[in-house]
């Protein structure tokens, strides 16, 4: 996931909706969605829910704006803050030759 630079903040339009611009891979329009974003921190999988992100309608590439990226970084830097967070179990499947 990439973080957009401060220059993109200038693209915010009058409706208050953030303009994520176009996907840099396939040039399709980025649509804002609330996503679950996964992070691997020291061998542990952490999922942050309700992250506003621009998602490419074609290839699914994701970008978050810089202010959101900073908030995510702050959360991820303080593991004690999510000790009491809810947990979900995920299937772990081994790829066998």
Residues in touch with Zn ion (CB under 5 A): 23, 25-26, 28, 56, 58-59, 61
Q: Which is nearer to Zn ion, 2 or 71 (CB)?
A: 2
> Smallest distance from the beta carbon of 24 to Zn ion, in angstroms?
8
* CA pair distance 26, 48, nearest whole angstrom: 26
Q: 45 near 89, Cβ under 8 Å?
A: no
Q: Which is nearer to Zn ion, 23 or 64 (CB)?
A: 23
Q: Which is nearer to Zn ion, 22 or 70 (CB)?
A: 22
């Amino acid at each position: 996931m990439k973080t957009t630079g401060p220059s993109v903040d200038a693209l915010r339009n009058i409706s208050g909706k953030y303009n994520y611009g176009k996907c840099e891979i396939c040039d399709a329009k980025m649509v804002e969605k609330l996503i679950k974003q996964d992070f691997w921190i020291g061998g542990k999988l952490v999922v942050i829910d309700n992250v506003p992100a621009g998602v490419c309608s074609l290839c699914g590439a994701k970008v978050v704006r810089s202010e959101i990226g900073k908030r995510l970084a702050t959360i991820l830097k303080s593991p004690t803050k999510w000790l009491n967070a809810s947990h979900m179990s995920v299937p772990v499947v081994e790829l066998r030759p």
